[in-house]
Amino acid sequence: MTNSIASDLEPVGTPGPVRIDSPVRRVAKEFVEDPVAVVGLVLFVLIALIAILAPWLAPQNPYDLAQLDIMDGGLPPGEVSFGTGDTYWLGTDQQGRDMVSAIIYGLRISLVVATMSLGIAITIGTVVGVTAAYFGGKLDSFIMRIVDLQLSFPAILVALILLALLGRGVDKVILALVIVQWAYYARTVRSSAIVERRKDYIDAARCLALSNRRIMFRHLLPNCVPPLIVVATVQIAQAIALEATLSFLGVGVPITEPSLGLLIANGYDYLLSGRYWISLFPGIALVLTIIAINLVGDRLRDVLNPRLST
């Protein structure tokens, strides 16, 4: 009790004017109180913009073979092209590809895969989770059995085996990520929906003969949004890392559409011979992206879960 002394008591006297902010405003206000999280957010927005604007930002199109000059192969950072005289700020790979451009395009593919799988997995997970919480009983325990079973196996293993059987491809990576991620969302949504489900107003809504769908999505779902956001930020960072890992292992995206993970893998063989830049810089881009998302996610968790903050 000693720690709650200060919060136990309300001041006496006339209460000052209280402004009631909307939840979004409150979250935004508290979010910006942590400068580290703001740095993370700015970094993430920047990275996302770079990925979106890749075709306009990249000095060359790294996959247009006509633009590549084999003479420029394996140049270290800061060297000048033999042909065009452009500076390769981050060096080139074996085919003479500008690493800046390769990273910008690679970032784009990494983020596309992660956000697409995130969107699909959230949709599936939410529908399944709300359904389980709303109907309860046998259906609920059956669904949760599947979720538990799925979550008891490491995501990397499941994704790897799926891709081993399906083969490479951006669509297949997305499918694999959806399959390993939907269960997290289903569990999150279900656990917050079930708390809400037990409240009296849901029974009241039922008495009013509102349709099941309306109760589920208009009443239960909004209460699941804060935890869902927290899980989603963690999961999108995980998805990016997982995709990079899969591509690194050679079962992810195809050679023609290299993500950051594949760029790292391609440069890996040259790492030992001292051409570190082919692998290192895509790696740094990957790591910055993941750290930025995690910084934002950590802060969101504190802000959306006042119970946990001390």
Partner 1 sequence: MIVYLVRRAGQSVLAVVAMAVLVFLGVYAIGNPVDVLINPEATQAQIAATTQRLGLDKPLWQQFGIFLGNAIHGDLGTSFVYGRPALDIILERLPATMELAVVALILSVGLGVPLGVWAGLRPHGLAGKTIMGGSILGFSLPNFWQGMLLILVFAVLLGWLPAGGRGQTTEFMGLEVSFLTLDGLSHLILPAINLALFKMSLIIRLARANTREVCLQDYVKFARAKGLSGRRVVMVHVLKNIMIPVVTIIGLELGSMVAFAIVTETVFAWPGMGKLLIDSINLLDRPVIVAYLMLTVLIIVTINFLVDVIYSLLDPRIRLSEMKG
Partner 2 sequence: MSRLLEVRDLHTHFFTRDGVARAVDGVSLSVDRGEILGLVGESGSGKSVTGFSILGLVDPPGRVVSGQILFDGQDLVAGGEGALRHLRGKRIAMIFQDPMMTLNPVLRIDTQMIETVRAHVDVSRDEALRRSREALVAVGISSPDERLQSYPHQFSGGMRQRVAIAIAMLHKPDLIIADEPTTALDVTIQAQILSEVQTLCAEAGTALIWITHDLAVVSGLADRLAVMYAGRIIEEGPTSRIIAAPMHPYTRGLIESVPHGKRHGALLSQIKGMTPSLLKLPSGCKFRPRCPRADDACTPEPPLEAARPGHSVRCVHPHTESRIEVPTT
CA distances (Å), origin 269, targets 8, 93, 243, 279: 61, 11, 20, 9
CA distance 133 to 156: 28
Should residue 10 be labelled a site residue for partner 2 when binding is judged by CB under 8 A?
A: yes
**In the complex, least distance from residue 226 CB atom to partner 2, rounded to whole angstroms:** 22
Residue with Cβ nearer partner 2 (13 or 137): 13
24 touches partner 2 (CB under 8 A): no
**Min dist. Cβ of residue 1 to partner 2 (A):** 6
51, 104, 239, 264: which one binds partner 1 (CB under 8 A): 264
Binder among 237, 262, 278, 304 for partner 1 (CB under 8 A): 237
276 binding partner 1? (CB under 8 A): yes
Q: Which of 92, 110, 235, 279 binds partner 1 (CB under 8 A)?
A: 279
Whether 228 and 185 have beta carbons less than 8 Å apart is answered as: yes
Angle at 295 between CA 127 and CA 107, to 5 degrees: 75
List beta partners, residue 88. 79
**φ and ψ at residue 60, rounded to 5 degrees:** -140, 165
Applying CB under 8 A, does 18 fall inside the site for partner 2? no
Contact between 3 and partner 2 per CB under 8 A: yes
The residues, any chain, with a CB within 8 Å of residue 74's CB and separated by 6 or more, are: 91, 92, 93, 94, 96, 270, 275, 278
Q: Please report whether residue 107 would count as binding partner 1 according to CB under 8 A.
A: no
Contact status: 149 vs partner 1 (CB under 8 A): yes
Pick from 117, 181, 192, 245: which binds partner 1 (CB under 8 A)?
A: 245
Q: Which of the choices partner 1, partner 2, none does residue 249 contact, using the CB cut-off of 5 to 8 A by kind?
A: partner 1
**Other beta carbons less than 10 A from residue 238's beta carbon:** 21
**286 lies in the binding site for partner 1 (CB under 8 A):** yes
Distances, alpha carbon 258 to alpha carbons 5, 55, 108, 146, 244, in Å:
57, 15, 10, 34, 10
10 Å CB burial of residue 85 (0-12, 13-18, 19+) is: exposed
- By the rule CB under 8 A, 14 interacts with partner 2: no
CA distance 59 to 102: 10
Residues 153-182 that bind partner 1 (CB under 8 A): 153-154, 156-157, 160-161, 164-165
Contact between 222 and partner 1 by CB under 8 A: the answer reads: no
Number of H helices, E strands in the chain: 13, 2
From the list partner 1, partner 2, none, pick the one residue 5 interacts with, judged by a Cβ distance below 5 to 8 Å according to partner type. Answer: partner 2
Q: Binding of partner 2 at residue 308 (CB under 8 A)?
A: no
Matching residue, tokens 């989770």? 129
Q: Which chain residues interact with partner 2 by CB under 8 A?
A: 1-3, 5-6, 8-13
Q: Which chain residues interact with partner 1 by CB under 8 A?
A: 3, 149, 152-154, 156-157, 160-161, 164-165, 237, 241, 244-245, 248-251, 261, 264, 268, 271-272, 274, 276, 279-280, 283, 286-287, 290-291, 294, 298
